[in-house]
């Protein structure tokens, strides 16, 4: 059981909990940050200090609702042909030939600002902006024309040669107080070309460093001192700087937007899967903390019940977030050249009943109850329900995240 929640349920001194809250929170969140803002953290700490349980419940509830309802609008811009549409498709988890994917081509294709919703998360929209390299492009009016205030951040895509227009745009976005990330695509092509043309002296690290240094020098030249530069291949997001791009975007977003951004992270590496696990674990913890506060408030409407269909939906939501829903499993099986049945035999989270019945959860709850009863003389039935739910959701999350790793390694091996 979680140490902080255990102390809370044991009715430990609230002043002590107030001082322990923030430091403990920082140990349970992802390295990319959590979903509570600094302000909410201070408010919860103050509520602990005043022993105000209603306030603790309200602040946590508000933060969870805000995170759940947050939207994300990402502007993707850059010269024609640099791979903007390919990048958007990759982030939406769509192949270029799939329905609803952004048009990708060897001739100029994006002429108008076009919104692309994420197929799974409709509150996320990628805006494919017309290229900066067109004759009509003018850095002074471009941002107003595309409505720069509407976006959470910009991604400037560049490939092969660095262009003056890209640098100008970066400078302009910065001066408007907006964030941008400079993404250099097609590094797979550069590496291939260098390898073929200089087989004796070819060194991957050196080539990548040269590309990075060139982008840096050009951005410095135009007055952007600390640009974020990421080298990627849209054909292989697991490689190069894409994982670092994900982590930095998450870190730099306002806390309430991190959750929605994290949902986008494809499960392409152990690192990405762990980051997702950390985010969901934080949400489970906040829910549990909220429920434990509610359990001590007389007449608080009880909204927790151990409803099995609801629990099954929760497990299925985790499977979908980690790319293990039925459709995704079908696709993986097809790619691996195996049957769905064969692949399913290594996915433990497909067996809801086994997870629910597993004795370890009952044992954990029992152990908890015994330790609290010796201190408090008993826990309310509501507290028991939430302990059971807490343990079960952690079990779901860990099983799904472990399964995602198993599938990832099978895919990498093949």
DSSP state of 348: G
Cβ nearer to ligand GTP, comparing 186 with 258 = 186
360-390 core/surface letters (b: 16 or more CB in 10 A; e: else): ebeebbeebbeebeeeeeebeebbbbbbbbb
Structural contact between residues 390 and 273, judged by C-beta atoms closer than 8 angstroms: no
Q: Which is nearer to ligand GTP, 233 or 389 (CB)?
A: 233
Q: How far is CA 158 from CA 138, 152, 154, in A?
A: 17, 20, 13
**What's the angle, vertex CA 136, arms to CA 134 and CA 142, rounded to 5?**
95
33 is an interface residue for ligand GTP by CB under 6 A: no
Instruction: Please identify which residue in 40, 82, 89, 110 interacts with Mg ion, judged by CB under 5 A.
Output: 110
Enumerate residues 6+ apart whose C-beta is below 8 A from 270.
405, 408
Tell me the window of 19-27, 40-48, 77-85, 347-355 that interacts with ligand GTP (CB under 6 A): 77-85
235: contact with ligand GTP by CB under 6 A: yes
| 101 contacts ligand GTP (rule: CB under 6 A) | no
Annotate 28-46 with b (16+ C-beta within 10 A) or e (fewer): bbbebbbbbeeebbebbbe
Rounded to 5 degrees, φ, ψ at 246 are: -60, -45
What does 234 interact with, of ligand GTP, Mg ion, none (CB < 5 to 8 A by kind)? ligand GTP
What is the nearest approach in angstroms of ligand GTP to the Cβ of residue 81?
5
216 in Cβ contact with 227 (< 8 Å): yes
125 binds ligand GTP (CB under 6 A): no
**Considering beta carbons, is residue 95 or 254 the nearer one to ligand GTP?**
95
Q: How far is the CB of 158 from Mg ion (least distance, A)?
A: 14
Q: Which is nearer to Mg ion, 129 or 361 (CB)?
A: 129
Q: Which stretch binds Mg ion (CB under 5 A): 77-85, 174-182, 307-315, 373-381?
A: 77-85
Which residue from 101, 185, 311, 349 is in contact with ligand GTP, where contact means CB under 6 A?
185
Asked if 131 is part of the footprint of ligand GTP (rule: CB under 6 A), the reply reads yes
Give me the residues paired with residue 380 across strands. none
Binding flag, residue 85, ligand GTP (CB under 6 A): yes
Number of shown-chain residues binding Mg ion (CB under 5 A): 4
> Among 70, 77, 84, 329, which residue sits at the site for ligand GTP (rule: CB under 6 A)?
84
**Pair of tokens at residue 128:** 């494919």
Give Cβ neighbours of residue 221 (< 8 Å, ≥ 6 apart).
167
Interface with ligand GTP (CB under 6 A): 80-86, 104-106, 108-110, 131, 185-186, 188-189, 233-235
Interface with Mg ion (CB under 5 A): 84-85, 109-110
């Amino acid at each position: 059981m979680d140490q902080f929640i255990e102390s809370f349920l044991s009715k430990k001194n609230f002043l002590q909990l107030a001082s322990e809250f923030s430091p403990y929170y920082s140990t349970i969140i992802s390295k990319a940050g959590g979903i509570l803002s600094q302000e909410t953290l201070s408010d919860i700490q103050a509520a602990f200090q005043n022993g105000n349980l209603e306030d603790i419940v309200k602040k946590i509830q508000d933060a969870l609702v805000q995170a759940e309802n947050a939207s994300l609008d990402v502007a993707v811009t850059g010269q024609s042909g640099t791979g903007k549409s390919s990048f958007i498709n990759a982030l939406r988890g769509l192949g270029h030939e799939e329905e609803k994917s952004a048009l990708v081509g060897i001739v100029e294709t994006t002429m108008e600002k076009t919104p692309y919703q994420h197929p799974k998360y409709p509150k996320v929209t990628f805006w494919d902006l017309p290229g900066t390299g067109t004759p009509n492009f003018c850095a002074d009016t471009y941002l107003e024309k595309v409505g720069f205030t509407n976006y959470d951040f910009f991604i400037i895509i560049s490939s092969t040669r660095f262009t003056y227009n890209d640098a100008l745009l970066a400078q302009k976005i910065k001066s408007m107080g907006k964030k941008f990330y400079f993404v250099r695509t097609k590094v797979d092509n550069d590496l291939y070309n260098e390898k073929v043309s200089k087989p004796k002296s070819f060194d991957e690290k050196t080539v990548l460093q040269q590309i990075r240094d060139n982008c840096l020098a050009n951005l410095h030249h135009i007055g952007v001192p600390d640009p974020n530069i990421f080298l990627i291949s849209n054909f292989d997001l697991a490689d190069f700087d894409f994982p670092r791009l994900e982590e930095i975007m998450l870190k730099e977003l306002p806390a309430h937007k991190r959750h929605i951004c994290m949902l986008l992270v494809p499960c392409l590496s152990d690192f990405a899967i762990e980051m997702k696990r950390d985010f969901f674990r934080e949400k489970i913890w906040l829910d549990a903390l909220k429920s434990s506060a509610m359990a001590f408030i007389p007449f608080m409407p009880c909204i927790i019940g151990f409803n099995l269909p609801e629990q099954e939906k929760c497990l299925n939501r985790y499977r979908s977030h980690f790319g293990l829903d039925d459709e995704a499993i079908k696709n993986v099986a097809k790619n691996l050249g195996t049957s769905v049945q064969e692949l399913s035999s290594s996915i433990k989270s497909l067996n809801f009943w086994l997870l629910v019945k597993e004795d370890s959860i009952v044992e954990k709850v029992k152990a908890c109850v015994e330790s609290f009863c010796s201190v408090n003389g008993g826990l309310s039935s509501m507290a028991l329900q939430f302990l059971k739910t807490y343990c079960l959701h952690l079990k779901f999350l860990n099983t799904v995240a472990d399964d995602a790793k198993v599938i990832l390694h099978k895919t990498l091996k093949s």
